[in-house]
Structure 1
Amino acid sequence: MGWKRFIAALLIILPAPAYGSRNIYKINIIKIRKAQENTGKKIIYYKIKPGDTLYGILRKYNLPLKMIGEVAKLNKLKNPNLILKGHILKIPLPGVKKKGVKEKFKVANNVVPDFSPIINGKGARTYKKGMILLNSGMVNLQQNPVVTTGGNSYIIDLNNNLTEQEIKELQNIGYKVIKNKNQLRKLIEENLLNTFGSFEANGTIKLGTFDRLTYHYDYLIYDMETGSTKIFNLTPDTPKELKNLLSAYGITVEQPEAKFEKGKPGTLKILTGTNIEKITELIHLLTGEKAIKDGNGYSFNRHKIFVVKEMTSPEEITEKKMAGFTIAKVYPDMGKSIREAVNTIPFAIQRIKLIIVEPPGTEGKRSRFEIKGFSIETPNRTYFLIPGVEKPEEIPYLISRGINLIIY
């Protein structure tokens, strides 16, 4: 079967315009996220079962009885004591104040890449250690690195650390000073052109077929000697996990060093076995209740759910219905089976197209990852279910983004 496709919980979900009959969700990966309080309320969608009462449903979720009025108002119930089997009930969960997970992102004191790896040691060097002593002061190479290439030496001063007098003295002893990113780009492009003969700037690579990763780069170089493809970026905004994913496609990434401390990673669960075994394991994962083999199906006695194959006899199904069970049929189509199974539990399920944009606020300036599947909202977390991924390396990349994945 190969690697299967799969989805899970996320950092931030922003609804986007409709995509045909499917919703689109965008996950913005955050590099700097301030601690904040989340006081918003989540909604559980509960399918009313035989014998349910509003009081009993509130008790199931450990919600106070005083919320009956709020639930009745939200669902426009004229009589809270009269709820109809099969109807969908919206139940608001109280907002929980909690501190957000801090993510720290710190760029090393400058944004100057090291030329050495990208040109294979053919004359260019970047020096970031040591000092240059001048009459008017001292230049710290950690803050203002030196780049030597083509017989010239350049001092990089993008942060305007140098005084006019220091710049004059540096020029007098043979250094050229780079004051802005446009000058730096020109220097890099001249160096790349002299070294490789050709390169592409500010382009896009599309990888994969079914699930797509679109990656935007500053410079792309195809090394004729080694047959390798290299990306050269001016800023450290491609995280390690994404670099590893690109590496799986035979593309290496060179960029400045940065320290990146991310928040809590997501979780991973792979459903195995036959379709009925996968659905049974999915319900167990979402509810915490283990199934019991029961005739030709599986029973969840606490939640009153009976999982059976599509062709199970009407007599067996009728017997379970009379005992108060909701029937979850399993079909050859796993997508249909998943929707029917989740609808027996009070959780919302939607067919989605997951879009991960990195870094945030750039709308894919660096990368864009798309994958189709389902989202399931539970009281504790959001899961994303997908049939599989194209390459095994895509799984740790998604998990590292804080996504709770289930592959079926």
Structure 2
Amino acid sequence: MSELGLELKSHRARRPRRGLGCLAALAVLAVIMGGLYWGASKGIDAFQDRFSDPEDFAGPGSGSVLVEVEEGDNASDIGSVLVDKGVVASLEAFTDEARANPDSTGIQVGFYELQKEMPAADALEVLVDPDNLIQSTVTVPEGLRVEQIVEILAKETDFSAKQFRRALNRPDRLGLPGYAKGSAEGYLFPATYAFGPRDKPADMLAVMVDRWRQAADEAGLEQAAEELGYTPGELMTIASLVESEANRDEDRGKVARVIYNRLETDATDGLLQIDATVNYALGRDLGLALTEEDLQVDSPYNTRINPGLPPGPIEAPGDAAIEAAAHPTEGPWVYYVTVNLDTGETKFTEDYNEFLRFKNVELAEYCEGSDRC
């Protein structure tokens, strides 16, 4: 065979490989085009996601969902809770609404009732209105005994007095200090409380004891007790006596000083002679008048006949009374008389004869024109 024939045969033999090369090139081109399409699609989706409105429910919503806003929660935290509970469709929808509403920074801690599948704007509108907080607001005034406080709690919440008494029988759950000796008398702090829908009687009582602890710490109760030579429990008893006796803030420190002076001087034989303790012993309102027979009641709380402090507090003292017990006013007084029950004017003295004049002249003159005596 000629050389030309060989070359032609060789050339024909290589043709199939040239066809395979074209197919490979087409396959690569298809992959490249597919990649470009996928990338373009993703880019378009991302562009649309970036510039389109976030997912949101049309509303109006249905059902009922209880949502809690906790201390320190920001709009993103709240929005995440709302998404988890099915209230709003997306975190972005809620945070966008929150950014546009300056009131969103003032959402209060607590519980709110919302609905499932609400528009984010509607959900935010509920949260920014403090009137929508679900809570029981209870005001406990100063000077009440535990039993009176229980009556208020039972009236203002969904729990019975029996349930609160049962909780009081578990003092270990209330956070009482050891020197309270298991009794909440004097340690349920008088204040206004907002209890949430999940709070049980023990929770509410524990909150009140926590508030007492705050007042005690602010007054430096335990350090003051050590400096004064008493126990913290004794200072709380003194604070309760101050609360029962002093009508004006300016007199509380003086009343506390009279109590300390009477405990520490021989002139009075350690007798406090505070009628409020006798009423407590009798189980009566602290302000009721006493007969001679009442004054002889056989009880360790009767400071008319028993020297020293009663066994424990007789009522719940407030901030000012605890402060007065911890930091009594300096002075020599061992007697005091409230000479005007309308204004609360009280006079202090270390002289017994002057005390008698306050009582038998000034107070008597007031009583002649008043039916409060």
Structure whose CA Rg is larger: 2
Class of the TM-score when normalised by the shorter of the 2 chains: under 0.3
Q: TM-score, normalised by structure 1?
A: 0.19
Larger proportion of strand: 1
Q: TM-score, normalised by structure 2?
A: 0.21
